[in-house]
Amino acid sequence: MGREVGTVSGRTLILSGREVRSLLSMADDIATQESVFALNAQGKAWNGENAWVQPDSKVQAYPAQGKMMTGGIEPDWWGVKNLFYGEYDPEGRRRVQILTIFDTKTLCPVAIMECNYIGNIRTGAGAAVATKYLARKDARVIGVLGTGATAWFSLLAHQAIQWPASRVYVYSRSAERRQWFSREMSDRTGYSVEPLDNPEAVVQQADILITATATQTPVMKAEWVQPGTHINAMGQKYEIDPQLYARVKNIGDEAVTAIHDGKLSVGIKAGVITDEAMYASLGEVVVGSKPGRISDSEITLFDSSGLCVQDLASGLHVWKLAQEKGMGRSVEFYHDEPLW
């Protein structure tokens, strides 16, 4: 992810969402995410604090909220990701994500690209990396709570690493959605995906559990989780019963981010656990500085908050391929001209 990614020409490459999608495969991004988690553990990929944009919706003509994420991959790259979400938007039309990649030597942008697809695919890829390092090798039943994009891409990522699931159970509040998800994902993954009408049945049968909901209250209870389960907690921070964090080995995409802004922060604020309940960052397990699962009965939980360096690493991969294929539109930023 250093200078070999591409040649810095003093120009900025603009890439559309359609172009990004054509260039980024799940298999490639899983390898990219595994690498950037390792760099994070080695101190070579850093994340800044998230900045939230939450104006009063009552005074907005078009109510929306936003978030800015920052990070860097040493020594060459900085990244800024901007996310904006419209309220009262069931179709997701007012949703924009933009990634800007900067050359650290000039502080000029080398690439600006639409980031919705990157955000979805890197989230799913992160779940697959966590499963690879934390799930039991004989885990065969995958449970999925939620049927949105996060659930979709997380299950696709498990298929991409050829995880040998014998069955997938899925639950969402909408019977129609879980039926649709089961049909589509059975076709796309080759897994046998079956909808169930309550979340407890999904959780109790899962060897690998993917939680991918947008709920503001827990979608599951701690006592439903069976010994030996690996949990990929991928959705909103409130979806997990806080009592669960006291029973499991907690691994964050980045430990400090999970403590302050992730799902684990909910358990800490509730007084169920303290910061010490965070065992490791996923990258520490990837590089072997901390062991992952140590027994078949241990419950492991991957707290995926989402890191800017994940987007940055994916974006750099896309930028390299776009240059090789002559894709995108190039513009010039006049960085060296005097202003007065």
Residue 189 C-beta-side C-alpha neighbours within 13 Å: 30
Cα-based angle 311, 312, 317 (whole degrees, multiple of 5): 100
What is residue 338's predicted lDDT score, i.e. its pLDDT? 74
Measured distance CA(261)–CA(238) in Å, rounded: 11
Q: Is 92 exposed, middle or buried (0-12, 13-18, 19+ CB in 10 A)?
A: exposed
* Domain 135-303, CATH homologous superfamily name and number: NAD(P)-binding Rossmann-like Domain (3.40.50.720)
What is residue 9's predicted lDDT score, i.e. its pLDDT? 56
What is residue 333's predicted lDDT score, i.e. its pLDDT? 75
Measured distance CA(38)–CA(45) in Å, rounded: 9
Residues of the chain with CATH 3.40.50.720: 135-303
Residues of the chain with CATH 3.30.1780.10: 3-118+308-332
Question: Are the C-beta atoms of 143 and 205 separated by less than 8 Å?
Answer: yes
The continuous run of DSSP H or E covering 85 comes out as strand 77-86
Measured distance CA(325)–CA(340) in Å, rounded: 39
Paired residues of 231 in beta bridges: 209, 301
Is the bond leading into 75 cis (omega within 30 degrees of zero)?
A: yes
Nearest to 236 by CA among 256, 215, 257: 215
Give the pLDDT of the chain (340 residues) as one tens digit per residue.
655 444 445 789 999 999 999 999 999 999 999 999 999 999 999 999 889 898 998 999 989 999 999 999 999 999 999 999 888 777 667 889 999 999 999 889 999 999 999 999 999 999 999 999 999 999 999 999 999 999 999 999 999 999 999 999 999 999 999 999 999 999 999 999 999 999 999 999 999 999 999 999 999 999 999 999 999 999 999 999 999 999 999 999 999 999 999 999 999 999 999 999 999 999 999 999 999 999 999 999 999 999 999 999 999 999 999 999 999 999 987 667 777 8
- Sequence letter at residue 167: R
Nearest to 243 by CA among 230, 259, 225: 225
Query: Helix (H, G, I), strand (E, B), or coil: what is residue 35?
Result: helix
Q: Which CATH number fits domain 3-118+308-332: 3.30.1780.10, 3.40.50.970, 3.40.50.300, 3.40.50.1820?
A: 3.30.1780.10
Query: Helix (H, G, I), strand (E, B), or coil: what is residue 335?
Result: coil
Tokens standing for residue 201: 């049945």
